[in-house]
Structure 1
């Protein structure tokens, strides 16, 4: 600051003295990391604009096909979908179940992902306002949408060294879906994260109706083949005549940093809580079944109930044997005196009412045959982070005349 000082006894034009005084007003520090982030932000903005332009062009070519290039994370930042893909560790409990059978391990992992409850998509997909959480967050909340389930399953498969991508398409049964595509030695497999089922590409029973888009950790591919049914699609996404890619081959060597953690830390599920929940569901179902039969008495067959309780844990573990030889002989003796009708229900746990509704829809309780007896067994298999597999077996027994 330059200050001019004039003496009072001197005319202004004949005496003038200048002084320099420093006044501290504050300071601003620019860390070097901030400068780097600013450069990265500029690059990221260019990439996001490229992704939006790519999506717009794809929609012009095939308006009815699905494509997602960017989403918002849980902090409200718009990012590429490729940043969600990264190899992540499944729970150790699953890895130790089938030490010498990798295919059985993959099936179990797909089953585990399917047990995570689904969250409905609240925001409009076509508006580009999807909000996705990380796989770690999906596990900790025990909740996720269709795409988050597919991303989690894809990341687990990558942990095993599988060549896996997330597939966006439509299903005859579920509408918009996200599957996982794995490239096997001689074929491609399609994994449904909502059911845990795996279908080969030419499986006529696969519910997938259209294959619209693929993405992994490095790129997004849009299907530009005229026929997009799974059986007709050429899944070799390196062929530019079949797949339009977001980034050119020269760009794919530049890895964009993933938002996923280095690993997922799992927590054990409280077994006493699971036991209390099982007893509560069983009591609730028995009360409901009696309410659903107001004009008929409800009798319970303890022998059959005991057999069913032995059966359900074996079904969860997929051992292939229903009961022990002793229990099997008991069941055969029971069949000599009763007509037995019933089947097990398996479902992910969300709340007790969902279990009640599933049992009611079977209609087994509505038997009006005289002297009908019932057997009910409930089993809950705990997985890490309070992810539960619920089994219910309701059977009706009518005595032979």
Structure 2
């Protein structure tokens, strides 16, 4: 038998061998990490693999092994032997992990018990099969041609979702042909070991394209689901394709650009499926999905006719059964929900409400007309963009509350002024209903009126009517004599008050969509202490410059600035828990710090971003803040305190307090 050259085998198998070894080596440690850290570690691995020098070291190791063992090393046909030969070269992997902990954009925290050292025996365990997705380049993003002059500081970022795993690319400059060139590795379950197992994985790859401008504002450019299983029909288990990325909203059917993607199964299976087998499987699934959706639509039409027969006035109620996502697909609203576990990133329902309320609210843009568009973003697109409408916020909050084991539902109805709105309700065992406003984090209690008792008063509740409520597995339409919220009975088991959809039909409709698994939340990498100090110094500089223009000097009282910190902490705690604590200590400290005969003024304000210029410009629109910054008197001391509180998904609550003490010259 003719032995291939060392260079040929090295080039052919370096990437596959390295990915295989590191997947086994890393899984042992990652199995001891909390679930929310696994995706961070994988993102860090991806970033480090792209650094110069790692591949060269692996090539040297492969070449040395081939030279030492000759014909004994057959990477494609003998996986156990390959793992055994690579065991002595774990130092390469060790070096990589050390560098990950030092330089990774997603640092690994060592807050767990000491780990058991990895042994050679563990490396010989079964390999995990993965899907390698390499984005080669972007093309034909023609909408950027007209905006290119104004987008010199704007960037494109790719977000990829697959089977609950998520990655994001490095930002690249916006252009007609954005220079994407990155590789991402997604894991399959350990039970997936054969090609026929992979063929049965029907979930597509979800690709989201986000544009970020110079001010940090993000825009959803495209969202697309990509079928990857054509790679199973290649002898090398790989397949390259040019994928059109469709726009969103009104442009859902129009391609906004093209991504050239290379799919590859690692390690190589050494076998292939026939093209017609893969095509037949995909066609069968699409046909079954279309038939299930057709049957559900027929059921929904009949269900709606029965609902209207109960009372003609039902036709005017807000009963939302279907909604379009950003890709233009019409989906049952229940399919937007799923129990979402935040792990240790979010540890209480009220913390979840605070987190969701900090995500930027943005009305769905329209082109012409003032009508409200029917567009609900998928969870992946919403988290990628970091902004959305009230329905997007309510869906995320309800999913998190479901994850905490609460009986939670999204409510569709109207606000006190008659405008359509969505919020969340949780129902307790005693019948008490709690409403959660996802845009503010506020909670309201609704007592169910008992038979014979007068209608309850809910003047503090900002909602007027409710047309329907739904969760991930149930849908109820309000069929009570009136849809007014104050007199509404929320006993969903009462068929005289609520018309229920068949749970089996809902389950079938949700399964037919073949949508990607919901992504997990990602931990913020921002250091709150560093970010707070940086923002505080920037605001001091801006305030001093503003005073200098007015001919005023600036004297900063650092001690007074520190005394402001408990107040900001108290404000955030009150927003998160509804409990106000710490104000007494703050007031005592200020009274002791302000000299006799001096006046103290303070102005607190909260933001969801840390852009110092935007913060200063907004704060100066307040008369109180303007008086503080432009204070002119005797013995004027100025103080600014900034507090940045971080949440998952790079969401942050930024609290600022401007303060001064002075002796009036009047």
Same fold by TM (over 0.5)?
yes
Matches within 5 A, 1:2-401: 31-32=280-281, 34-48=283-297, 50-51=299-300, 61-62=313-314, 65-95=317-347, 105-123=348-366, 130-172=374-416, 175-186=419-430, 187-202=432-447, 203-245=458-500, 247-248=501-502, 251=505, 256-257=510-511, 259=515, 261=517, 264-271=520-527, 274-275=531-532, 278-279=535-536, 282-283=539-540, 286=543, 290=547, 294=550, 300-317=556-573, 321-322=581-582, 330-335=589-594, 337=596, 338-349=598-609, 352=612, 355-356=615-616, 358-367=618-627, 370-371=633-634, 373-399=637-663
Q: Which has the higher helix share?
A: 2
TM-score, length-normalised on structure 2? 0.47
**Aligned 8 A contact 1:167 1:179 in 2:** yes
**Aligned 8 A contact 2:536 2:641 in 1:** no
**Aligned 8 A contact 1:82 1:219 in 2:** yes
SS in 2 for 1:195: coil
Alpha-carbon separation, structure 2, partners of 1:352 and 1:55: 52
Q: Which is bigger in relative contact order (C-alpha 8 A, separation at least 6)? A: 1
TM-score, length-normalised on structure 1? 0.75
Seen in structure 2, the aligned counterparts of structure 1 residues 76 and 253 have a Cα distance that, compared at 3 Å, is closer
SS in 1 for 2:425: strand
Seen in structure 2, the aligned counterparts of structure 1 residues 114 and 47 have a Cα distance that, compared at 3 Å, is same
Alpha-carbon separation, structure 2, partners of 1:392 and 1:316: 11
Please state how far the C-alpha of 1:362 moved relative to its aligned partner.
3.2
**Aligned 8 A contact 1:311 1:323 in 2:** yes
Instruction: State the aligned residue count.
Output: 363
- Is the deviation greater in 60-69 or in 36-45? 60-69
Alpha-carbon separation, structure 2, partners of 1:391 and 1:328: 18
String of CA shifts for 1:237-264, please: whole Å, max 9, x gaps. Answer: 333332334x246746757327462550
**Aligned 8 A contact 2:409 2:426 in 1:** yes
**Aligned 8 A contact 1:91 1:384 in 2:** no
Alpha-carbon separation, structure 2, partners of 1:220 and 1:175: 22
**Aligned 8 A contact 1:135 1:260 in 2:** no
SS in 2 for 1:93: coil
Seen in structure 2, the aligned counterparts of structure 1 residues 205 and 353 have a Cα distance that, compared at 3 Å, is farther
SS in 2 for 1:241: coil
Please state how far the C-alpha of 1:351 moved relative to its aligned partner.
5.0
String of CA shifts for 1:105-151, please: whole Å, max 9, x gaps. Answer: 22111101111112212259998953323334423332222111111
String of CA shifts for 1:36-65, please: whole Å, max 9, x gaps. Answer: 430221220232355467669769735654
Alpha-carbon separation, structure 1, partners of 2:534 and 2:417: 31
Structure 1, unaligned stretches of length 5 or more?
1-26, 96-104
Alpha-carbon separation, structure 1, partners of 2:626 and 2:283: 69
Alpha-carbon separation, structure 2, partners of 1:244 and 1:152: 25
String of CA shifts for 1:78-114, please: whole Å, max 9, x gaps. Answer: 211111111111252322xxxxxxxxx2211110111
Query: Which residue does the alignment assign to 1:11?
Result: none
Structure 2, unaligned stretches of length 5 or more?
1-274, 448-457
